[in-house]
Amino acid sequence: MKLAFIAVNDLTALEADARFAAEHGFTGLEFNYWKGFEDLTADTVAQMRKILDRHGVKAASLGLWGWNHTAPDADERRVSLGHLDRAIQFAETLGASILITGGGQVPGGSLDDNVSAFAEVIPPYLQRAQNAGLKMALYAVHGNSFLDSIEAYERLWAQIPDVGIKFDPANIRHHGDDYLPWLRDHGDRIFHVHIKEHLYMDGKLVSQPAAGMGDIHWGKVMAFLYEHKYEGYLCFEPHGPLWGRPPLREKMLVLTKKHLSQFLM
């Protein structure tokens, strides 16, 4: 398994993140974009790649978040799929191995409706991603993605078997579900892992500190990843108003690495 963290997308901040990654034993950085992806240019991506190469750090993944690839409105769907096509090109430029995106959302549609809509639009984009050396990992439980349960993935795999899970136990826990069965039953379908901690009090999320300081059972997560021979990235996600920004952001990265190192060979 390899260690990465989610980088800041600004080029100046990326320079600092790439330097920090190289100095602290991270081999990759992840890049995620929501609406701001529409402003990302090929020139900026080329500069990002130069920064990574300068510090000897890889692109762990590129994520396109929140865009609705199966929107009933034809113009919205066209724009969203156009961004997906650009994301494939940009991920290839960065040298990433994983492309992260959502499954789309048909408002008011059944699970069958959503699976059919995604299966109708995604094959050519999945093929382009594979031709670019990318695996496509689909995120769950938020951001214009009908994939809100393991059943949704299972139904999708019956038609599109080559997509995987972008797995975030904290997100699944916050959704009200047990994340361990996902690992136990479908660990071989997990293409990318986010490491984000959640700390609850009185049933409410009160903090998102470093791994090991909250309620996620990281030892159990790692046990199932080993059982399924996971060899991808463990990507740390600094998150929240305190631990997601300075001065606690770097502490979160270092302390999370220290906690997880007990489970790494």
Task: Give the model confidence (pLDDT) of 54-67 as tens digits.
Answer: 999 999 999 999 99
Beta bridge pairs of residue 136: 99
Cα–Cα distance between 201 and 26 in angstroms, integer? 32
Q: In a 3-state reduction of DSSP, which class is residue 17?
A: helix
Res 115: pLDDT: 98
Residue with tokens 């009200």: 176
Task: Give the model confidence (pLDDT) of 181-212 as tens digits.
Answer: 999 999 999 999 999 999 999 999 999 999 99
- Average pLDDT in the chain: 97
Q: For the CA atoms of the chain, what is the radius of gyration?
A: 18
pTM (2 d.p.): 0.96
Query: How does 221-242 read in b/e, with b if 16+ C-beta sit within 10 Å?
Result: bbbbbeebebebbbbbbbbbee
Structure tokens at 179: 């994340």
Residues across the chain: 265
- Spans of all domains in the chain: 2-263
CB atoms inside a 10 Å sphere around CB 24: 13
CATH topology of domain 2-263: TIM Barrel (3.20.20)
